[in-house]
Chains A and B, each alone.
Chain A
Amino acid sequence: EIVLTQSPGTLSLSPGERATLSCRASQSVSSGYLAWYQQKPGQPPRLLIYGASSRATGIPDRFSGSGSGTDFTLTISRLEPEDFAVYYCQKYGDSPPLTFGGGTKVEIK
Chain B
Amino acid sequence: QVQLVESGGGVVQPGGSLRLSCAASGFTFSNYGMHWVRQAPGKGLEWVTFIWYGGNNKYYADSVRGRFTISRDNSKNTLYLQMNSLREEDTAVYYCAKSDSGGPGYFDYWGQGILVTVSS
The chain A residues found within 8 Å of chain B, CB to CB, are: 33, 35, 37, 39, 44-47, 50, 56, 88, 90, 92-94, 96-103
- Are A94 and B104 within 8 A (Cβ)? yes
- Are B108 and A47 within 8 A (Cβ)? yes
The chain B residues found within 8 Å of chain A, CB to CB, are: 35, 44-47, 50, 59-62, 95, 100, 103-113
Residue of chain B at shortest CB distance from A50 = B106
- Secondary structure of the A contact surface, majority rule: loop
Pick the most buried of B44, B59, B62, B113: most chain A CB atoms within 10 A of its CB.
B44
- A45-B104 CB under 8 A given contacts A96-B59, A97-B62, A98-B50: no
Assembly CA distance A50 to B101 (angstroms): 13
Assembly CA distance A52 to B41 (angstroms): 28
